[in-house]
């Protein structure tokens, strides 16, 4: 089938037909397209985007990346990660094609489902229909956020035209602590869209790591991704989203988790690539006793721009949340962090914290930090704080006076700055991988 090259309703229908999707999903895609088509893009006049200008992002100038169905080798960069990561199972995408997947037979026998989203649509239709768009739904943004519906523009684009994705289901009372990893290698020059759906049933436990990798420099490229995490009563999910895309990429990630009674989510977002990247990460504490830990690490150089938004939404009582995002910027790069702790009227005994710390390695680097509270209950413990500061000249001089070159001295200071996040990552191979990335970013 030869698809139309421009973004349109016809392209939505063609993609859905190509992927052999059920009627209900095609209808959802069309609703999302209608939203996308009628809304403007967010601008710096939109409160949530006031520090991030996306007017030059070529959303509608690129052709959509589609599955080719052709066999493809695992890229060398991904092979190296597979050798280091110590995973229990993994999947590798090259563009929109799933080129390799592995899940141990013992997991299958216990009912774990780990496959492409479209395979899950064919083999487990009820599970997918019950949960897809449950947490990340473009329609939730229309008419919300102080009547700024343009916030739904990019999520609607992803919902209308995503071409691939991953489904992970962990059955009731099944636990595994060794990570499952997904690697998405993007060669660039396209508009790419993916979705991830993770469902942890009652009292289950799992670890999931997703990494985005590309060549170091690419033609102008746009990647949109959405991750939905459904955490059932008493379940625990540890999740990581790691973005290492090359210069030329514009990366937009939206993630939301629903946490039921006594559920726990430990989340990590790492942004250390792309020309512009934005990650919106939200936890909804829907059940009493639920808990959300949200960690973030970022490092920018050159003219890179990274933007983070977090939401700790306390709906139920006796819930806990903690956000700790730390980053560093050098050269002429810029980092943005905005976070909101929102406590509903009935969310008594909420315990919530939010911290953002930024380190500037050059006079031309910039960080903007906007922590916020919105409290509707009267028996809560909530606090937020942020700081932005340059490298202390005395500390840098001391290290260099001991014979260390400037880049190595800066490595030590940056790793020291990020230590309290790194030490909260219990997966040692992942922590070492992130440390290596930081060292390389500082050195360049």
pLDDT number for residue 258: 98
pLDDT tens, position by position, 369-423: 999 999 999 999 999 999 998 887 777 777 888 878 877 787 788 888 899 999 9
Angle between helices 9-18 and 153-161 (to 10 degrees): 40
pLDDT recorded at residue 71: 80
Which pLDDT value is given to residue 145?
46
Share above pLDDT 70 across residues of the chain, in percent, rounded to a whole number: 98
216 pLDDT above the threshold of 70: yes
Instruction: Return the pLDDT at 143.
Output: 47
**pLDDT tens-digit profile of 294-342?**
999 999 999 999 999 999 999 999 999 999 999 999 999 999 999 999 9
- State residue 391's pLDDT score: 80
pLDDT reading at 140 higher than 80: no
Supply the pLDDT for residue 1. 53
- Are the CB atoms for 165 and 195 separated by under 8 Å? yes
Task: Give the mean pLDDT of 273-296.
Answer: 98
Q: Give 144's pLDDT tier (boundaries 50, 70, 90).
A: very low
User: What tokens appear for 8 in the block?
Assistant: 């349109």
CA distance 365 to 330: 5
Among 27-31, 240-244, 407-411, the least confident range: 407-411
pLDDT of residue 268: 98
Predicted pLDDT at 441:
84
User: What is residue 167's predicted lDDT score, i.e. its pLDDT?
Assistant: 98
Q: Measure the CA–CA gap between 227 and 286, rounded to whole angstroms.
A: 18
Q: What is the mean pLDDT of residues 78-95?
A: 96
Report the pLDDT value the prediction gives residue 2, as an integer from 0 to 100. Answer: 61
What is the model's pLDDT at position 166?
A: 98
Structural domain boundaries in the chain: 37-391
pLDDT at 164 over 80: yes
Mean pLDDT of the chain: 94
Rounded average pLDDT over 40-61: 96
Which residues are CB-contacts of 51 (< 8 A; sequence separation ≥ 6)? 44, 307, 334, 336, 368
Is 244 a residue whose pLDDT tops 50? yes
Tell me: pLDDT of 203 over 90.
yes
């Amino acid at each position: 089938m030869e698809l139309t090259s421009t973004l349109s309703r016809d392209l939505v229908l063609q993609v859905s037909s190509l992927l052999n999707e059920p009627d209900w999903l095609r209808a959802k895609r069309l609703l999302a397209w209608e939203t996308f088509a009628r809304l403007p893009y967010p601008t710096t006049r939109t409160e949530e985007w006031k520090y991030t200008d996306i007017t030059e992002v070529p959303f509608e100038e690129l052709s959509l990346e589609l599955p080719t169905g052709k066999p493809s080798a695992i890229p060398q960069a991904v092979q190296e990660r597979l050798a280091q990561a110590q995973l229990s199972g993994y999947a590798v995408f090259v563009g929109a094609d799933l080129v390799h997947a592995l899940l141990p037979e013992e997991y299958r026998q216990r009912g774990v489902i780990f496959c492409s989203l479209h395979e899950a649509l064919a083999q487990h239709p009820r599970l997918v229909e019950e949960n897809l768009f449950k947490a990340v739904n473009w329609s939730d943004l229309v008419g919300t956020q102080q009547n700024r519906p343009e916030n739904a523009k990019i999520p609607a684009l992803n919902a209308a035209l995503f071409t691939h994705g991953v489904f992970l289901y962990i059955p009731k009372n099944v636990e595994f602590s060794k990570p499952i990893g997904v690697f998405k290698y993007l060669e660039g020059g396209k508009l790419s869209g993916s979705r991830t759906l993770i469902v942890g049933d009652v009292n289950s436990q799992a670890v999931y790591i997703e990494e985005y990798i590309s060549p170091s420099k690419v033609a102008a490229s746009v990647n949109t991704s959405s991750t939905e995490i459904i955490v059932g009563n008493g379940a625990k999910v540890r999740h990581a989203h790691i973005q290492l895309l090359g210069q030329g990429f514009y990366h937009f990630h939206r993630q939301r988790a629903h946490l039921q009674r006594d559920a726990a989510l430990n989340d990590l977002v790492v942004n250390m690539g792309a020309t512009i990247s934005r990650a919106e990460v939200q936890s909804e504490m829907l059940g009493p006793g639920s808990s959300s830990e949200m960690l973030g690490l970022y490092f920018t150089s050159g003219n890179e721009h990274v933007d983070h938004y977090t939401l700790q939404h306390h709906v139920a009582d006796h819930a806990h949340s903690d956000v700790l995002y730390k980053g560093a910027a050098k050269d002429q790069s810029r980092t943005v962090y905005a976070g909101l702790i929102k406590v509903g009227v009935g969310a008594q005994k909420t315990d919530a914290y939010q911290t953002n710390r930024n380190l500037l390695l050059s006079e031309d680097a910039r960080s903007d930090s906007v922590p916020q509270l919105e409290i509707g209950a009267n028996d809560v413990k909530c606090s937020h704080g942020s700081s932005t500061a340059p490298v202390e000249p005395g500390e840098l001089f001391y290290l260099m006076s001991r014979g260390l070159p400037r880049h190595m001295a800066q490595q030590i200071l940056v790793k020291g700055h990020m230590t309290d996040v790194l030490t909260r990552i219990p997966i040692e191979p992942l922590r070492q991988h992130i440390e290596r990335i930081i060292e390389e970013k500082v050195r360049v």
